Amino acid sequence: MRVRILFAVTVAACLAAAPAALAAGQNPQTAGLQVALRAQGLYRGPIDAISGPDTVAALRAFQRIHGLPATGLADPRTRAAMGPLGGPLFGARTLRRGAFGWDVAVLQFLLVRQGISVPVNAYFDGPTLHGVLLMQRRLHLRHDGVVGPHTFTAIVRRDHVPLARQVVVKKVKKAHGAKQVKRVKKAHHHKRRTLTAVHVVRAGETLSSIARHYGTTVAKLARRNHLDPAQFLLIGTRLRVPHVHHVKATRVADRTVSVASVRSLLDHWARHYGVSIHLVRALAWMESGYNNALVSSAGARGIMQLLPTTFRFAEGVLIGHHLRHDANGNVRAGVAYLSHLLHDFHGDKRLALAGWYQGEAAVRKHGVYRVSRQFAKDVLALQHRM
């Protein structure tokens, strides 16, 4: 049975293609755009579905790199250039485990916004499946883990996602095309004066790290959100970030070099240690989304999400000298450790990834845990898309 909501997404395309028009609030479709831009190494801000100056600037940078008009609008040509992460838009297909793309990132964002902790990595993995099941139970739906017509309908009733009838498309484009560009320019122009955002707390984040990211103070952030700075933040909590004045302008090129270098580092050290580039990229993406600032609740850090003990083992035993605790050091230590695991497990990627996830000694003593088996399966599936 077809439900209109699944196939009436043409205006959603228009709205996703015009993020500046929704800059005053959240458009969940924009979360898919932000994840796609982050994978390209052009955006390192929060996945908040707010099309602010950083998102627009990153999108324009992507368009310039690919020889497209730098409009700051995620039109079909731009999304096509983004590859698998450029589509489909949320609502265009049924989602189930193993799906990969823009719409999965939007689904994950919506789950996080409802306080359900899942990674926002555009891959419908095990944690995302559990999140969907939990959401379906909350909404009193058949909990089959499949985001089909009934689940889509319930989601859109609860969280507004732009979906409308096709008949409106040409009018919307004609009426708003010029205004969208003006609003983008206006948002970018005011970047130095004010910044307003809603931040969704992710694993490992603290009030101090969030305050530092937005250029405000812990006291202001806590006061604005009625929080006790001494208490832990819950993953998925939505924080209102205070107005920030005199924010120092950052050229997109500067941020692009810093973030885009992550992929270059992964490729460089993968070649150095003779490990599949695609495997390294997939592992890093699953672990951190290429975010070197990420710190997990267990203390794992950086792009490769290494525990301090693993980092010390890599630099002291596998590499033989101290490494800097920066992106390069984190990636090198992680790839060296992955190479070590592949060697010890005679090239078996599944066992090596299980060793990465649960520890090499635990794999040899107890075998592959169920959760490790799923982690390895997800990484191996994702490597073919990286």
**pTM of this prediction?**
0.49
Active site residue 287: yes
For the stretch 278-315, pLDDT in tens is 999 989 888 877 777 777 767 888 889 899 999 999 99
Q: Is the pLDDT of residue 24 over 50?
A: no
Confidence of residue 20 (pLDDT cuts 50, 70, 90): very low
Highest average pLDDT, of 204-213, 301-310, 338-347, 371-380, comes from: 338-347
Question: Quick one: average pLDDT of 338-365?
Answer: 93
Q: How many residues does the chain have?
A: 386
Q: Which of 91, 82, 94 shows the shortest CA–CA distance to 34?
A: 82
- The structure tokens 């929060």 sit at 46
- The pLDDT of 211-216, averaged and rounded, is 70
Instruction: Give pLDDT tens digits for 305-324.
Output: 899 999 999 999 999 999 99
Does residue 21 carry a pLDDT above 70? no
Q: Mean pLDDT in the chain?
A: 76
Tell me if the domain spanning 253-383 has CATH number 3.30.365.10: no
- What is the per-residue DSSP string for 302-370? TTTTB-HHHHHHIIIIII-S---SSHHHHHHHHHHHHHHHHHHTTT-HHHHHHHHHH-HHHHHHH---H
pLDDT band at 119 (very low <50, low <70, confident <90, very high): confident
**Looking at domain 193-241, which of 3.40.80.10, 3.90.45.10, 3.10.350.10, 1.10.260.40 is its CATH number?**
3.10.350.10
Give the pLDDT score at 279: 95
Fold match between 4-184 and 253-383? no
Domain boundaries, the chain: 4-184, 193-241, 253-383
- CATH class, domain 4-184, is mainly alpha
Before 308, cis peptide (omega within 30)?
Answer: no
Q: By mean pLDDT, which of 5-19, 23-37, 60-74, 362-376 is the weakest?
A: 5-19
